[in-house]
Amino acid sequence: MKGLIQRVTYASVSVESEKISEINSGLLLLLGVEKTDTSETAKKLCRKVINYRVFPDDQGRMNCSLLDHGGSLLVVPQFTLAADTRSGTRPGFSAAAPPDHAEALFQEFLVASEQCLGKASVGRGQFGADMKVVLENDGPVTFLLEVGGVLARA
């Protein structure tokens, strides 16, 4: 499972020109699900995202987590993060989870996030939709987090 987090001052997601979710200060997470991912993978990445220290402390060092900061999380499913881009000029998607498996793990990730942060602090994109994401990256600060699969780093 891969999560691209971006520290934001604002982020929103729209479907068919209708804004379905928005947050102010916090993290935008683009979430990619792979075939080998499980419920445990989703929970592990959730813990990592929420506890990853990307917000400044009193000295300006990135030493505070989303929990410490008290910000919100906007989770957007992102199929293309599961792409294999190691060779050629066209991405391969053989590692991507099938839609039913990916959607189930996306929903599990949301539930775990809401349990840690509270439902009001978690926004969501719409699985399988053509979404428009607007964000104001703060820093910019962007990290690719990976758990499970071949590139386990958690």
| Residue among 152, 151, 146 at smallest CA distance from 48 | 146
pLDDT at residue 151 above 50?
no
**How far lies 127's CA from each of 15, 34, 113, 153, in Å?**
11, 15, 16, 26
Q: Examine the pLDDT at 26 and tell me if it is beyond 60.
A: yes
Which fold does the domain 2-146 belong to in CATH?
Answer: D-tyrosyl-trna(Tyr) Deacylase; Chain: A; (3.50.80)
Over residues 45-57, the mean pLDDT reads 97
Q: Mean pLDDT across the chain, nearest whole number?
A: 94
- Average pLDDT rounded to a whole number, residues 49-56: 98
The residues carrying an active-site annotation are: 78-80
Position 148 scores a pLDDT of: 81
List pLDDT tens digits, range 98-147: 999 999 999 999 999 999 999 999 999 999 999 999 999 999 999 999 99
For the beta carbon of residue 131, count every other beta carbon within 10 angstroms.
Answer: 17
Averaged over 31-42, what is the pLDDT? Answer: 96
Residue 150: predicted pLDDT? 46
**Residue 149: pLDDT band with limits 50, 70, 90:** low
Q: Is the pLDDT of residue 152 over 50?
A: no
Q: How many other C-beta atoms lie within 10 A of the C-beta of residue 98?
A: 9
* Cβ pair 83, 93 in contact under 8 A: yes
Domain boundaries, the chain: 2-146
